[in-house]
Structure 1
C-alpha cells in the first residue's frame, strides 16, 4: 500500500457541535453549535506514526477504498438482534452489531484489522473506512472521508479504554471488544491483529441517511481537543464536519416536515373515516326504523285481512 507520513496538529483551534434530538414520527433533528471549545494546552496532539520504508507493492487509492466497500454487505439489519459480519478475519473484517431489542447504549460497526493485514499508513485506514461508509450508508466521498478521519481520531483517543466503550455501547457491541485491541494505536506496527475500530451508529431507522453515523459522539470534547491545526488541515476538517452536521440538520428537518404532513394526512383520513362511519350509522338507523315501520304496516295489513275474513265468514249469504 502507499506509504508516507500523516499527522494532525493544531496551535489554536476549537469547535463544539451540540446535538439535540427531536423525536417526530420516523426521525430526529440535530442542531449545530459553532461555539469553540479551547483545547487543553498540555494535551498532546494525536500523531500517527506510519511506515516510511520501501514498498514491495503499491495499491491505488481506489483499490484501497474497494477493501472497505467490499465489507458493506455486513450493514444489514438482522431484525432480531445480533451481528452480521463480512470479510476475512485474518485481514479486514467488519462486524455490524445492532440490537433493536436493547434500548440503552449505542449500536456500532467494528472494523477489525487482522494479523495478516498489510495496511501501514493512516491514510489507507481512512480510505478503507471511507469506502465502507459510502457503500454501506450512501455517504458522498467527501462526507465519508470526513467521517473516516474523525473515526480514526476518536478510536485513537479511546484506545484501550474498554470501560468507556462498555458504558457507551450495547452488549451486542462490547461482547466483541477487548481491552488489548479496542480502538486504534497511533503506531502502524500495532495495527495488525490488535485493532478494533468502533464506528458509532445512530438510530437504526436512519440507516441509509446522512445521519447513519453518530457524529455527536465522534465530535465529543476529547476528540475535538486532539485536532490541532497544521497547515490549515485542522480548520478544513472542522469546516467539513460542521457542513456535514448542517446537512444532517437540514435532512432531519425535512424528515420532520414530511412526518408532520403524513400525520396530518393520516388525521384527515381518520376524520373522513369517522364521518363516513357516522353517516353509515345514520343510514343503518334509518333502515332499522324503516324496517320497523314496514313490519308494523305488514302486521296491520295481516290483522286487517284476518278481520275481513272473519267478517266475511260471519255474514249470511
Structure 2
C-alpha cells in the first residue's frame, strides 16, 4: 500500500517546544516556514506518529521532519484513493477556506509558491517536497478564496488538494485521466519509504494496546505523547505531553503503552523520541473489533505448543 507524502507549515514556537525541539532552533524558523513530512492517511485519521528528525538539519531550505499518520480507524488508503476523494470541497467546517484573501504570488517553483500561499492564508499544507520538486506554479494575483487560489496554483501540475479534517490541506496526484497530458506524475520519496513498515508495526501495536480497555479506546479523546523504543523494538519509556483531560485515562494510556513490543527494531536513523498524537477524529466500532481479532491471534500464537 502506498502512503501519501506530505510537508507541513511549521508549528508555532510553543507547539514546537511541546514536541521537544530546542528553542534555539526556532530563532530562524518563522511560522510560515515549511517542514518535510510524510503521512499514511485514511478517510478518518485517528493517530499520528511523528518521526522527528534532527531539527538543525536543513533539506531544500525547509525544516525537515518525517511524520507518519498511523490510522487507527478504518483501513489505510493509497494515494489513488486519496486522489479520488479530492473533488470534495476543501472544507465545509472551516470558514477560513472561504474567506477571500489578497494574493500576489508570481509564477515560481511550486514549493515556494505553496510556502507563500501558506503565509498568506495561515492554512497548514501537507505535501512531500519531492512530490512538488521540479513543478512550477502559475502566477496568482487578486482577491480569491483560499480554495480557488490553491486550485489555480495547482493548474497543470497533475496534483489536486484534499482537506485533512480541520487540520489543513494535503496534495495528492490526480488519478489517471483526470489531468492534462502535460501533468507531471507524483513521485514517492525513497527517503521516507524506509519508515513505512515500521509505521505499520507501531500502528498495529498501539491499536491492540489501546483497545484492551474502553477507557483508552481512541475516539473520545486527544493526547500527545512521546515514546522511546530500544534496539529490540520495545517501548522503554513514554510520557504524555498533553493530557486527555482525564487523569485516570492519562494513567491508563501510560500503562497501556509501557513495555510494549513493536516487534521490529527501529530504523537506525530514526530520531527519538517518537511523538504520537492520538486524535478523537474518526472513531469506528470496527477498529477495535479488528484489534480484538489481532490480539486473539497473537495470544493463540503464544499458547501454541512448540
TM-score (normalised: structure 1): 0.22
Answer with 1 or 2: which has the greater Rg: 1
Structure with larger RCO (C-alpha < 8 A, sep 6+)? 1
- Structure with the bigger percentage of helix: 1
- Structure with the bigger percentage of strand: 2
TM-score (normalised: structure 2): 0.23
